[in-house]
Structure 1
Amino acid sequence: MSRVDDIRSAALELFTEQGYRATTMADIGAAVGIRAPSLYKHVDSKQALLAQIMTTTMRNLLDLHRAAISTTHDPAERLRRATEAHVRYHARHRAEAFVGNREIRSLEEPHKGDLLKQRATYEAGFRQLVGAGIAARRFDVTSARLASYAILDLGMGVAVWFRDDGELTEDAVVWEYGELALRIVGAHTPASAPTRPGGP
């Protein structure tokens, strides 16, 4: 890793353990063996480090989401693959998820506004997947918004409890959460899709 990567990793660990506000540049410098004043040769500020960690997380999630849904046109399979990508990322990047959820309040403008726009885009992606399944009569759920929020919460919760050496493997959790997402939206195969009032 580069020196900047080392600094970012140290900042992430400290933000996770003791919080953004309690962490100083001196703490970060000590973690990588650099005096605090010398850190500014590599990074602009503690705020810039937080913004970089959080925006990189959202950019990665957006990229993974787009890649997951690009491989099929089937509504149920698209939702499954998007959910699996969401869950897998949170299982592998628990610290980033923790900091991203807890420290949004610590972001300053324009970083906070930019991050909230990225989050809105990511959330809308899941809402659109659910809406497409409803329109195709493949999903039986009342609110695409509420269903998408529930699915997103599933993945984010994984970051809290999942452990690499735990009872369940990452692949097992990812598969099961994909199944749960389909149950949340009441997914049906084309042959068993329900007929809605006013439909053929």
Structure 2
Amino acid sequence: MSTPTRVPPRGDRRAGIVAAALELFADKGYLATTMDDIGRAVAMRGPSLYKHVASKQDLLVEIMERSIATVLRDHRIAVESTDDVREQLRRAVEAHVRFHARHRLEAFVGTRELRHLDEANRAVMLSLRKDYESGFRELVERGVAQGRFRVGSVKLAVYSILDMGVGVAVWFREGGEFSVDEVAYHYGDQALRLLGAD
């Protein structure tokens, strides 16, 4: 799949560059994508491109940082919207699924290209991902403590819930048989069944 050339508005050049890099990383892979490829996609030559971005690594970091910031924010909003742990878990799962349905390329790049971050950036990203996972673990642990959830292993339950959401990015297509909201609600139900929710 070739990436179409796009010329972003003058004031929005960096956003256009990041969007082009995202598409190219998803299509060709991080290693196979060159800065020349990115420049061609936004109709910019090397010197002009480097006025807006320092390196390909910086673009990968920005894509991943934006993604994790979004899921962390959405998780926090979901949890803060109610005091009931069962409903908090449902809303957190729905937010997780919505992100992966609406941001398929970001989810794909974030999973596949993590290994290509340099050591310092990878450590930061892994720490943020651990924070996200911990948010779900805290909900499940609290639900178990309150007698609302029944699971053999909190860790495995959380991994299963996270994997369900990530998998949506593989098959979901806008305009398909199910809407984003239908998928999110269904996965919320599945997560509660997995947890043996009351």
Instruction: Count the aligned residue pairs.
Output: 188
Q: Identity percentage over the alignment?
A: 56
* Partner Cα separation in structure 1 for residue 66 and residue 50 of structure 2: 20
Residue 85 of structure 2: aligned partner: 75
Residue 116 of structure 2: aligned partner: 106
Q: Which amino acid aligns with 2:123?
A: G
Residue 40 of structure 1: aligned partner: 50
> Over aligned residue pairs, what C-alpha RMSD do you find?
0.8
- Selected match of 1:154 from 159, 164, 186: 164
Q: Radius of gyration: which is bigger? A: 1
Q: Which amino acid aligns with 2:94?
A: E
Structure 1 stretches lacking a partner, 5+ long: 189-200
The reply to whether residue 31 of structure 1 matches residue 35 of structure 2 is no
Q: What's the offset of the Cα at 1:171?
A: 1.0
Maintained 8 Å contact 1:130/1:139 = yes
Cα deviation per residue 1:112-157 (whole Å; 9 max; x = unaligned)?
Answer: 1100000000001101100000000000111111101100001000
Residue 142 of structure 2: aligned partner: 132
Q: Which amino acid aligns with 1:32?
A: V
Q: What's the offset of the Cα at 1:166?
A: 1.1
- Selected match of 2:179 from 165, 169, 172: 169
Maintained 8 Å contact 1:29/1:36 = yes
Structure 2 stretches lacking a partner, 5+ long: 1-8
Q: What's the offset of the Cα at 1:37?
A: 2.6
Q: Which amino acid aligns with 1:52?
A: E
Maintained 8 Å contact 1:26/1:36 = yes
Cα deviation per residue 1:145-181 (whole Å; 9 max; x = unaligned)?
Answer: 1101100001000000000021111111011000001
* Partner Cα separation in structure 2 for residue 187 and residue 111 of structure 1: 38
Q: What's the offset of the Cα at 1:73?
A: 1.2
Cα deviation per residue 1:69-96 (whole Å; 9 max; x = unaligned)?
Answer: 0011111100000000000011000000
The TM-score normalised by the length of structure 1 is: 0.93
The reply to whether residue 16 of structure 1 matches residue 36 of structure 2 is no
The TM-score normalised by the length of structure 2 is: 0.93
Maintained 8 Å contact 1:28/1:36 = no
Q: Which amino acid aligns with 1:49?
A: L
* Partner Cα separation in structure 1 for residue 46 and residue 197 of structure 2: 54
Residue 188 of structure 2: aligned partner: 178
- Selected match of 2:127 from 117, 120, 135: 117
- Selected match of 1:97 from 82, 107, 128: 107
* Partner Cα separation in structure 2 for residue 38 and residue 23 of structure 1: 18
